[in-house]
Structure 1
Amino acid sequence: MSNFDKITTYHGTAEAHADTLVEGKVDTALGGGELGQGFYLGTALHVAKAWAVQMHNCESVVEFQFDDDEFWNFDIESLTEIEAIEYRSNIRRNGQTRTYKFSKDIVWGPIVGGPKVYSDQHKWESKNGESFLNGSKVLRRKR
Structure 2
Amino acid sequence: MKANKLTALLFGSILAAPLASQANDNQIDKALIIVNSGSLQTQGMAMVLGNAMQDKGTHVDVLLCDKAGDLALNETNNKQLKPKNVTPEQMMMKLQKGGASVNVCALYLPNSSHSKDALREGVGVAAPPEIAQQMTAKNTRVFSF
- Structure having the larger proportion of residues in strand: 1
Class of the TM-score when normalised by the shorter of the 2 chains: under 0.3
Greater helix share, 1 or 2?
2
TM-score (norm 2): 0.27
Taking structure 1 as the reference length, the TM-score comes to: 0.28
Larger radius of gyration: 2
